[in-house]
Amino acid sequence: MNYSVLTPAILPNKKKFKYYLKNDKPNRENYFNIGDCFVLESMITSLKPHYPEHIYSVRSDLSDLQINKINSTKALLLPITNRLNDTGKNFPIMKSNTIEKIEVPIVLYGVGISGDPKSNNGMTDVIKDKYNFIFKKVKYVSTRCSLSQNYLKTNFPEIKEKFIMTSCPVVFHKHKLNESGLFKDKTNSVLLTVTNRDDFWERECKTIDFVAEKYKTSKKVISMHDYHLNNQHISKRDGQFSILNYINEGVFPKNNQAIFTYALSKGFEVYIPRAVNDCFEYYKNFDLHIGSRLHAHLHFLSQGKKSFLTFVDYRCKGFSDDFGFPICDYKNLEYYLDFDFELFRAKFFKHFNEMAKFNNYIKEMLLV
């Protein structure tokens, strides 16, 4: 049987995109992150032969028609990554009256705390009531790191056994960690990812500088995981959804333009991923990843390739604790290059088993 999905990979009002800047800050309605598609695609793959019947945006309230369509399926899955917080901020369904209209089980899939530790001190009673409505209909809730699991256990100690740490589905997506000869020292091609928000400039430029100097003869590409769309095309064929994103490459926020210019001056090429499977396919061409995008980091590790993640915010700490990989100081990247990735692989299979348990619960108990 099929299910429905709420995801940040779909933007609301996709036929009404208008690009503009206010005080050099892009309109958040048009803000897109290919990492959200990594999560969605990884979840869909893990739940085959079941497929989503309807996919809607988590960024806006659901209409009555959308709710009726959701209630016609077996469950509503929410791969919402970093939207756990005390007040329901950036999670419209938790601040509206629509959630009580959803009759099918609501499944949180790899849910995680936000990047700001100040927003995860304790839920308000109103938000707790919303989550209790979700939790009473399911046996398990999947969290993407131990910090997120502990946050839920602290807020809901009476049902703490429901919260299991599965990690993020991206790290398990078509993984190659059963193979031998992984995590080689090849550096013929290096992918660099950047996060162009908040105080990013020094971190990302120092990382670009390091890669440019360390890997002078390697092919070097900078990949932009988040950008702002002109349009988004969503199609469905043989049960599989496809999302294609359109941008006008001549119109970027100033911080994107500046990063492009700086990377190009250091010998990099620029890659803008438009569709998730195209991105996965393109990343096969690279031996090594260095940068600040968590989902790129998890994907490279799943393929048995070395990857070094720089610190952006609190979200990466839980993954580092759970898998044992370092969070790198961009001022001293050389220090981390001898990390033994077998330490990561040893912990991987423990979490893989928890994710398999959770997926089997969904497929065998909710989607029958």
How many domains are there within the chain? 2
Q: Work out whether strand 226-228 and strand 31-33 pair parallel, antiparallel, or are unpaired.
A: antiparallel
Do 268 and 199 have their domain in common?
A: yes
d(CA 219, CA 271): 13
Residues 122 and 19 reside in one and the same domain: yes
Please check whether residue 139 lies inside any domain of the structure.
yes
In this structure, are residues 310 and 332 in contact, taking their beta carbons and an 8 Å threshold? no
Residue 55 covered by a domain: yes
Give the gyration radius of the chain's Cα atoms. Answer: 20
Contact 34, 226 (CB under 8 A): yes
Could you list the pLDDT tens digit for every one of the 368 residues in the chain?
799 999 999 887 654 444 433 444 445 556 788 999 999 999 999 999 999 999 999 888 899 999 999 999 999 999 988 889 998 887 878 877 888 999 999 999 999 998 787 888 999 999 999 999 999 999 999 999 999 999 999 999 999 999 999 999 999 999 999 999 999 999 999 999 999 877 889 999 999 999 999 999 999 999 989 877 777 888 887 777 888 877 665 555 556 778 889 999 999 999 989 899 999 999 999 999 999 999 999 999 999 999 999 999 888 999 999 999 999 999 999 999 999 999 999 999 999 999 999 999 999 999 99
Does any domain span residue 337?
Answer: yes
Q: State the alpha helices, DSSP H only, in the chain.
A: 34-46, 64-71, 125-135, 146-155, 201-214, 254-265, 276-283, 294-302, 315-323, 342-361
Q: Tell me, yes or no, whether 193 and 337 share the same domain.
A: yes
User: Are 166 and 208 found together in one domain?
Assistant: no
Q: For residue 49, is the peptide bond before it cis, meaning its omega torsion is within 30 degrees of 0? A: yes
pLDDT computed for residue 114 by the predictor: 86
Could you tell me if 34 and 128 lie in one domain? Answer: yes
> In this structure, is residue 184 part of a structural domain?
no
Query: Same structural domain for residues 123 and 136?
Result: yes
Position 352 scores a pLDDT of: 96
245 inside domain: yes
User: In terms of domains, do 358 and 325 share one?
Assistant: no
pTM of the full structure? 0.93
Q: How far apart are CA 290 and CA 309, in angstroms?
A: 6
- 122 and 64 within one domain: yes
**266: domain range?**
189-345
What whole-number distance in Å separates Cα of residue 17 and Cα of residue 287?
37
Res 19: pLDDT: 40
Q: Is residue 162 helix, strand or coil? A: helix
Q: Look at residues 108, 105, 45 and name the one whose alpha carbon lies nearest to residue 70.
A: 105
Residue 178 located in a structural domain: no
Instruction: Give the domain CATH number at 232.
Output: 3.40.50
Is 271 part of any domain? yes
Q: Are residues 272 and 329 in the same domain?
A: yes
The tokens describing 32, both together, are 């897109």
> Is there a contact between 111 and 78 (Cβ–Cβ < 8 Å)?
yes
Do residues 76 and 205 share a domain?
no
* Confidence (pLDDT) at 248: 61
User: Do 133 and 194 share a domain, yes or no?
Assistant: no
Same domain, 166 and 242: no
